[in-house]
Chain A
Amino acid sequence: MSPLHGGAAALTNYVFPNDLHVHWSLMIVLYPYITGIVAGAFIVSSLYHVFHVKTLQPISRFALLFALAFLICATWPLLNHLGHPERAMSMMLTPNPTSAMAGFGYIYSAYMVVLILEILFIYRGTLVELKQKSRGFMRFLYGILTMGSDNIGARAMKLDHKIISFLAGIGIPMACVLHGYVGFIFGGVKANPLWATPLMPLIFLLSACVSGIAGIILTYFVIKTIRREEVDMDCVRTCIKFLWGFFILDFVFEMLEVFTHFYMSTHHWHVLESLLWGPLYQSYWVYQVMIFSVIPFFLLGFLSLIRFSDGIVKFFAPIVSLMILIQVLLMRWNVVIGGQLMSKSERGSVAFHPEWLEKEGILAAVIIMVAPIIILYILGKIFPFWQEKRAGHTAA
């Protein structure tokens, strides 16, 4: 049990004077959340383009646009957080090779290039057709997006196909690095007992996949409902199965981390214990684990293993996806903010209450999370989310 027991515990709450302030707050919770969704959505698309999971074809293009919408917003929380956002380009000018965070500039840019290129190549056939049908600004825009070519003959499309496979192929490790390095930013901080673990990049990456798939399922349902179109149930069922698979891995590693430390019961554990059974008890055990991990774990299990009717799946899939999205957000919150609640004095903790109207406050977080939806809407006007199934014009 905790060594800080009884009356002595409250009196011993000593926090280093510089530890009173939580430096990485909502914005830093959002950044891995957003890049996680990006990485996860990309994995969904790659499941089709690289691993040829045929049932995922209906959302294979949509997933990329979804990823792009979030990727565009990925820098916003960081720029909001920085004390000197005008110096942000320093990360590209003089990245420190020993700093995981320095990777951000180049990793983000490279990934953006790969994602945009993949979208352009996959959509090229459709875009050329759309260009012929448009006038004015849209025609000009499509001209740029088709990279100045209107050739959609067999040879060009074969070349495109090869390029798409290549991009989707290197895109997977790049997506892993895009989110894995964030895990390493935390995992490499030896001074913080909650963060310092080799499992951190893995946990971040798996929860990223999970959030991406869940995000796609949810938005797929929402958009189809708004447009009053049919939902492809095979696609949804496959997504649910993959979601369950990734979530098993994610949940197992998250619990393994805590359990191993509990089992070894070193000094490291005693510090963690006072955090997890202290200020973080509710948000970690009650919300993240009990309500938003265990319940979706079983829900997903049932939905995957038992062939329920379409109606039941249509009801539960968006709900469980929303729960998973909340779980991942809670996990980011508990890791980022939870890790800073414990003082490095190992003798006390602070509380954190975000404000609505501060610079890194709740309102800013809401705006940043709503922005990708708006961007997705705009992207949907340029790149049609879904193709009509036509003979002779199969997707790449």
Chain B
Amino acid sequence: MEENYKSGYLTHVIILLIVLIIVGVGGFYARKAFLPDGFGKYGHYRPGAIEDEINRPLRNMTNESCLDCHPFIKKIHLKGVHKTVSCEMCHSAYANHVDEKGKVFAKMPRKQGKEIRELCLRCHNKAIKARPVTSIKVVELPAHLEEKKVRTDHNCDQCHHVHAPLYYVNLAKEMMNMKEEKK
């Protein structure tokens, strides 16, 4: 019952194998072509990624960088108890003010009124417990204002210079011949 066929009994298998080999070899070389440069050199990653991360532009700087151009603030800030507070915390990142070439291109935000109080209370609010006494002095409003015998709608910066909070306080005490309380 063996009829005559145009193709041999193995034809389809051979064609199939050829196709599979072409696809396999083609895939192998295609992979090599598309592999990123240096992949696997240090591990299973693209080494260029480290370069990419190193070259990320800096946005924040340090207080020193800000104070380099703002000497008056430098004079009073560095001696005050606020010397550890970051300029960029309140005024936003360095890169919003100075571009990579060092040129000033925009003004920094200056906090006003209620915003100042919000910022002060972020650290100094006694109502939120968990502020270690060794770290920081905390006050509660309006109790603090009542204690100091001033109007309870006063803002923090009316007595405390934001960059050196005890500057005016100490000046006033000197003028009034008051002694500094020893903590």
- Which residues on A are within 8 Å of B, measured CB to CB? 89, 92-94, 96-97, 113, 117, 124, 146-156, 159, 163
Contact = CB atoms under 8 A, between A and B. Distances in A.
Query: Which 7 A-B pairs give the minimum distances between C-beta atoms?
Result: A149-B12, A147-B12, A156-B9, A151-B5, A149-B11, A149-B7, A155-B9
B143 interface: no
B100 interface: no
A117 B34 CA distance: 28
Interface residues of B, number: 22
B6 interface: yes
B16 interface: yes
28 contacts: A93-B31, A94-B39, A96-B44, A97-B44, A113-B20, A117-B16, A147-B11, A147-B13, A147-B15, A147-B16, A148-B7, A149-B8, A149-B11, A150-B5, A150-B6, A151-B5, A151-B6, A151-B7, A151-B11, A152-B5, A153-B5, A153-B9, A155-B2, A155-B9, A156-B9, A156-B10, A159-B9, A159-B10
Q: Which among B11, B15, B31, B40 has the highest number of chain A CB atoms within 10 Å?
A: B11
* Overall SS of chain A's interface: loop
Contacts of B10: 156, 159
B3 interface: yes
B31 A151 contact: no
Nearest to A92: B31
Contacts of A96: 44
A273 to B, nearest CB: 30
A148 B9 contact: no
B3 A153 contact: yes
**B interface, over-half SS:** loop
B6 to A, nearest CB: 6
Contacts of B16: 117, 147
Given A92-B31, A93-B34, A148-B7, A154 B2 contact: yes
B1 interface: yes
Contacts of B171: none
A151 B35 contact: no
A153 B31 CA distance: 41
B11 A89 contact: no
Contact of B1 (A89, A154, A163): A154
